[in-house]
Amino acid sequence: MKLPQIGPKTRMALLAGVGLSLVAGVVVSQTQPLPAVEWDVRRLDTLDRNVRRLERALTQRNSVGQPVLVEPDPEVVQLQAQVAGMDRRMGDLEQTVQRMNADNERLTFQLDERGREAQGLRTSLGRAETRIKALEDAAVAQAAQAQAAAEAAQADPDTALASAVALAASDPARGAEALADVAGRWPTEPQGREASWRLGDLERAGNDHASAVQAYAAALRDWPTASWAGETTVKLARSLVATRRNAQACAALAEFNRRYAASASASLKSVATRTGTEARCS
């Protein structure tokens, strides 16, 4: 078997290696370290000749069928095995880091989602608090109006009626209570009668015709001559029809025709006529 030719640079490196090996062997064998070898041209030429002799010897052994087998250094083999193991561990570490990065990305995305959800909840909570505050303020204002109406009702019927009418415009339920209170305190006074027919309008608007009939009847007791009396009589008749009391509705319409029709508007007369038709009045 023919060995490949060695270039000059390789030969010089081999010479240096052999020289270093020789020097290292000498140093190890002695108890005291020798002085460092100064490598000059002469020494390198000597090493070059020695390397050539080794090449020729190796070539001769190969030519006669006695190849030179170079066994690897056990320490090198062990080091290679350690390096391979480190490569495997590095590969495992890289895979672990990749998995951790993927997990971190998922966690980051989930945290962002949770952050957006939390921000949405905070926004919704802020809006709800704003609405609750508005409702609380409205409740306080309504309570103040109701208190003012109650206090005014105990003092003066005109003030009590005005307060009840204003409260009914903003809070029909509380306004109905205030109007009923005015009607109960001054049932025969003009303010009490007006409170009654206004209360009847609230009940009729809420489709409570039975309560509306009672309020209208209280306002029309003794058939007053106020400007609202004719319209209130027709409203009474319509609520009576709604509660299927046609006979009483016809009686109310008869009073309207007798007491208020002469000064009533054409539209009011038309409503009265239509109501009489619905009640089947003769």
Q: Which of 14-23, 91-100, 157-166, 215-224 is predicted least confidently?
A: 14-23
Task: Report the pLDDT value the prediction gives residue 7, as an integer from 0 to 100.
Answer: 52
Residue type, 34: L
Task: For tokens 């990065």, name the residue.
Answer: 101
DSSP 226: S
Displacement of CA 174 from its chain's centroid (Å): 37
Instruction: List pLDDT tens digits, range 196-250.
Output: 999 999 999 889 999 999 999 999 988 988 989 999 999 999 999 999 999 999 9
Residue 5's identity, in one-letter code, is: Q
Over residues 79-102, mean pLDDT: 85
Q: Which residue has the higher pLDDT, 215 or 45?
A: 215
pLDDT at residue 143, as a whole number: 78
Q: What pLDDT digit, counting tens, does each position of 178-195 carry?
A: 999 999 889 889 999 999
Mean pLDDT, rounded, for 90-99: 88
Structural domains of the chain, with CATH: 8-70 (no CATH), 157-279 (1.25.40.10)
**Does pLDDT of 11 surpass 80?**
no
Measured in Å, how far apart are the chain's first and last C-alpha atoms? 143
pLDDT at 154: 63
Q: Please report where in the chains the tokens 């009940």 appear, as a residue.
A: 203
Q: How many CB atoms lie within 10 A of CB 163?
A: 23
pLDDT for 83 equals 78
pLDDT of residue 2: 43
Nearest-5° Cα angle at 156, 154 to 159: 105
Q: What is the pLDDT of residues 129-181, one digit of tens each?
A: 888 888 888 888 877 776 766 665 566 888 888 888 998 888 998 989 999 99
**Which residue has better confidence, 17 or 127?**
127
> CA 25 to CA 44: how far, in whole Å?
18
Tell me what percent of the chain is helix, strand and coil, each rounded to the nearest 5. Answer: 80, 0, 20
